[in-house]
Amino acid sequence: MIEVTDPTHPLYGRRFQVLSISHPPQRPGHVIVAYRGSLRLRIPVPATDRTPDNAARPHTKFTRDALLELLALWKECPAPCADYQGPSGTASPMA
């Protein structure tokens, strides 16, 4: 069994039966796992519990600097228009 331990991975916290593991030179490799019977998934080794303990892994998809930049941009945005439901023109003549 293998567990997806990268919190940014969509399958985080799930455990799967290992079908095969690749370890190509100079690359991180991947694991082929059984999923819902006949389906197979390919998961990067660094996203699993098979990655070395000393490998740095982000705990979020956003960095602190990226969030600060997003907040600064949000502060520059004007307030949304008021939800005014009044008439948009003169009334049409009655026939």
> What whole-number distance in Å separates Cα of residue 47 and Cα of residue 11?
9
> What whole-number distance in Å separates Cα of residue 59 and Cα of residue 49?
15
On the question of pLDDT at 86 being above 90, the answer is no
1 pLDDT band, cuts 50/70/90, is very high
Specify whether the CB–CB gap between 45 and 21 falls below 8 A.
Answer: yes
Give exposure, 71-95, as e/b (b: 16+ Cβ within 10 Å). eeeeeeeeeeeeeeeeeeeeeeeee
Task: Give per-residue pLDDT as tens, 21-76.
Answer: 998 888 888 999 999 888 999 999 989 988 766 455 555 666 778 788 888 887 88
Decide which of 49 and 94 is more confident: 49
Q: What is the pTM of this model?
A: 0.55
What pLDDT sits at residue 2?
Answer: 94
> What whole-number distance in Å separates Cα of residue 37 and Cα of residue 68?
44
